[in-house]
A = this chain, B = another copy of it.
């Protein structure tokens, strides 16, 4: 397929009329063809009009038809073959195995949402049947289902050009919920975005759906993004990226005459607690696991372990020593974009200049453009507590080790943390009691708690939570990864005393979809009818 550099509005391709974006190969700093001229407010208007026109028809597709559509997207992405992987490698500097894995994850994620759609539990059907004889007042027949919020704007992330981008988790879950989607492509991988966007558009056509179910826009600066979030036909926003970017979208969404929810996954430093016995028993193994997780993908993960917390002492010294050796041997790695590389350098420089922290180790120096050098810093709890800037996210392979003088100080450090995506506990049996005592604090701080693992690597499954209290995300009640992500794009509607012929399929008396409804207070166990 030849890349066109065009916007995709429904089934139509259009050339933008704003500044041209080029993908850049971060390994060489060389721009990639074609250029992508940005869209304008009028392009946003067209895409929103199409999405709105598609809404009522798309949201009433059968569960089977919607699931098939989502599976068709996965098939179309796989059919792109090496062209997709090659282009993504060129635009991101990520190695082939990583991108092959990410493509697999993206397609598995789509297929998992297809299963979720078919199972229909997200419809949360509740039926309270009429009680005409009830005293003092009869009860009406009341039936509840979930319907989609409406068209959703999705902002692709820089660091997952497939799994958190055009057909990533936000798009998959919004489409699964029955919401048309308009994606604003991330400027770091416009060609990858075009390839995937066209795959989605082919699936829309192949499944005979209204074209407005999917559009893909480009734009440098914030014109397209703010116009999208401000359009009255957009009813929710999915975003993965920086804190400043997320906050700008939230502000725009709240300034609307009708405010809308923004699901922004923003910043997290993912504290790792090393408990005393674990540290005592296996400082070196912990250092190996830590450095592997920290430097994976040049540290460019939302779940990168940016903070380590432990009691001061010989065991922690051993961990720091082993970490230092491993970091010093770590090669510099090409980062995703010159912008991300520069931001990482600034963050590391700020830590290096901060008198409350010292550099414990730095990785090998860069030999090529945009290569990030791993860094580990050490500070004391008192310094950490005194300087909020030490918990700012440094997006890349940088981490701060906080040495605590007491268990009480560990708790203090935890209580002062901002909201996090993850918190990790490394513990042995002797540590269980202390870990148990800290659990309530950790539950209040993070969306996912791990024991004896590392936070990088986010499984796509039913039980995953990729979310957490602000500023990890803008809405701690939700997850952006895993099947519960569909719940973000739904709202309940109750139907009172409807004649059966007027009820939507999932609420009809005969239960034609064989849903396990909450029927008069009891969960249906078999797939029985009323």
Contacts and interface: CB of A to CB of B under 8 A. Distances in A.
B523 A447 contact: no
A175 to B, nearest CB: 18
Contact of A451 (B254, B259, B496): B496
Contacts of A144: 462-465, 484
A514 B458 CA distance: 28
Given A101-B136, A448-B493, 18 more contacts: A115-B521, A121-B518, A124-B484, A126-B462, A126-B463, A127-B462, A140-B450, A142-B461, A143-B463, A439-B502, A447-B492, A447-B494, A449-B493, A451-B495, A463-B494, A477-B491, A477-B492, A484-B492
26 contacts: A115-B521, A126-B463, A126-B484, A128-B459, A139-B461, A140-B453, A140-B459, A147-B443, A258-B419, A258-B471, A261-B475, A261-B477, A432-B502, A439-B502, A447-B493, A447-B494, A448-B493, A448-B496, A449-B495, A462-B518, A462-B521, A464-B494, A477-B491, A477-B492, A479-B494, A516-B523
A205 B419 CA distance: 33
A428 to B, nearest CB: 10
A490 interface: yes
Given A452-B497, A469-B258, A497-B450, A476 B463 contact: no
Contacts of A493: 443, 446-449, 465
Interface string A30-72: 0000000000000000000000000010011000000000000
A1 interface: no
Given A462-B521, A502-B435, A525-B525, A494 B448 contact: yes
Contacts of A418: 258
A177 B284 CA distance: 43
A386 interface: no
A220 to B, nearest CB: 28
B150 A444 contact: yes
Number of copies: 2
Given A462-B144, A521-B462, A523-B121, A449 B259 contact: no
Contacts of A142: 459, 461, 463-464
Interface string A94-126: 000000010000000000000100010100101
Contact of A149 (B56, B149, B452, B476): B476
A203 B475 CA distance: 33
Nearest to A474: B259
A214 to B, nearest CB: 20
A351 to B, nearest CB: 22
Nearest to A127: B463
A461 B523 CA distance: 14
A100 B484 CA distance: 42
Interface string A342-364: 00000000000000000000000
A501 B59 CA distance: 44
B525 A463 contact: no
A395 interface: no
A498 B451 contact: yes
A502 B258 contact: no
Contacts of A136: 101
A190 B197 CA distance: 59
Nearest to A112: B521
Contacts of A408: none
B497 A451 contact: yes
A239 interface: no
Contact of A526 (B126, B461, B525): B525
Interface string A473-510: 01111110000100000111111111101100000000
Nearest to A462: B126
Contact of A56 (B440, B457, B477): B440
A465 B492 contact: yes
A467 interface: yes
A259 to B, nearest CB: 6
A470 interface: yes
A327 B435 CA distance: 68
Contacts of A475: 261
Interface in A408-464: 418-419, 432, 435-436, 439-440, 443-444, 446-453, 457, 459, 461-464
A465 B146 CA distance: 11
Nearest to A525: B525
